[in-house]
Structure 1
């Protein structure tokens, strides 16, 4: 039985060996890698990352059509479904209800509470925007008043300066 390292050394000695494409300077690094797999064991490849491949292919498709505009339909706000007009099978957590009725009741309640929270958050955001606009208008008005007052002072000084230069 021959040792795998002796096979490798014999191959390194024969420089015309087609299996060894490395020169003698790089044999020290490649021999370490090749010795691990010289016993006929298969080399396992890493599994391909399908998400990265998918993203790469999408980017390549976009880069091929670089002249066409891209429609990004990304909405930051969640969609609020309107409430039902009339709920037929109103269920509750009272006694006598079935075992699945309570979970259905909880789900409806959770959805309604979420919808109400989103509506309140929208209303609070609208009032905050209105308050900001009002505050901005007040600041602009104060700034314009101060600017007008300073303009009047400059014009008065200029007028007085012109009077004094005319009097001399």
Structure 2
């Protein structure tokens, strides 16, 4: 699934690693988002999720990932988007935030790409949605825009410890 795209302008292609970074891009609806690859542990197929009562709607439940129980967050619901049934493209992006592992449900994973930091910009002040609510940056690749999410900020406002979630069930 790893794909190299010509996202790095030629003048930066041979410069130091600090000028570029890698991101995993994914779709929620028609919008494209990204997370820095240093946060991504792996990408897995959508599987069985054990639901927990008395948790926020965006926390879908828990999964067992190779004998490790991790919470799963539906990013569509976290961003106030309508829910969507899982299909063959639906994936769980497993990320690490503050030494905790969390699964993120996304509509589809697009690609892994290397991007020049020169292509980053702040979203316009009058924008609304996830780019406004949470610190984010915009990656502009020609006519293509990717919202680069600060996943720590997005998940930092939710109870994501599996033990805390299980205690809420009792």
Q: TM-score range by the shorter chain?
A: under 0.3
Larger RCO, structures 1/2 (Cα 8 Å, 6+ apart): 2
- TM-score normalised per structure 2: 0.17
Greater share of strand residues, 1 or 2?
2
What is the TM-score normalised by the length of structure 1?
A: 0.17
Higher fraction of helix: 1
Rg (Cα) greater in structure:
1
